[in-house]
Amino acid sequence: MKAQRSNSREKILAAAADVARESGPGSLSLDAVASRAGVSKGGLLYNFPTKAKLMQGLVEDYLREFEGALEAARQKDSGGESPLSSYIRLSAKDCEETQPSASWIFSAIAEDPDFMTPIKTFKQQLFERLKGETPDLKSLLVCYLAIEGLRSMNLFDSDVLSQDERQMLVSSLLEIAK
């Protein structure tokens, strides 16, 4: 039975991600997610008692996927590229995808201030790990904060860089990360 719950949870998260991509996370409806996942609304609410908890689950799922992709990139490039370079490449690629408006984040935070906890924890752990793997703290600070700036511009749909400027920035960061 436990595997079934996990499976339902995964189906719900996959459905929520699909619905959020199609209509934007701000207009995500629990009914639409339940319907897409093929579960009852009660089944959805069993796994995610509020819309904010569902959104938090989506964020946690995204962070797990990013961590897995980062680990896979590190193993693939274990001989040549630094961990910081792998982080820069993966993050820059991630930022190339257009994101829906982040207004839903403010709603989720207002409903549940703990919404940001997994993001803060992930970022802190990632930074500490990169700090332990990067010999030059100054390079790490410049690269990490530049990537976080790209993420913020992407998240809030406020990117001011042209494609060429973005590529120049990423190339510069990769040079710094060597």
- Same domain, residue pair 44 and 56: no
Whether residue 106 is predicted with pLDDT greater than 70 in this model: the reply is: no
Residue range 8-57, pLDDT digits in tens = 899 999 898 888 777 766 667 899 999 999 999 999 999 999 888 888 88
> Which of the 8 DSSP states describes residue 23?
H
Q: Which domain holds residue 79?
A: 51-177
The reported pLDDT for the residue numbered 99 is 63
Q: Is the full-model pTM beyond 0.85?
A: no
The reported pLDDT for the residue numbered 1 is 35
Mean of pLDDT values over 85-105: 78
Mean of pLDDT values over 117-122: 88
- Same domain, residue pair 25 and 113: no
Alpha-carbon span 59 to 111, nearest angstrom: 15
How many domains are there within the chain? 2
The DSSP string of 57-125 is: HHHHHHHHHHHHHHHHHHHHTTTTS-HHHHHHHHHHHHHHS----THHHHHHHHH-GGGGHHHHHHHHH
- Same domain, residue pair 23 and 111: no
The reported pLDDT for the residue numbered 23 is 76
Please report, for the domain that includes residue 37, its CATH number.
1.10.10
- Same domain, residue pair 90 and 9: no
103: confidence class by pLDDT, cuts 50, 70, 90: low
Alpha-carbon span 18 to 170, nearest angstrom: 29
The DSSP string of 129-156 is: HHHHH-S-HHHHHHHHHHHHHHHHHHHT
- Same domain, residue pair 100 and 139: yes
Whether residue 79 is predicted with pLDDT greater than 80 in this model: the reply is: no
Residue of 42, 155, 167, 158 whose CA lies nearest to 106: 155
Alpha-carbon span 143 to 7, nearest angstrom: 38
Q: Which of 14, 34, 49 is the last residue of a domain?
A: 49
- Same domain, residue pair 22 and 104: no
- Same domain, residue pair 107 and 20: no
AA letter at 102: A
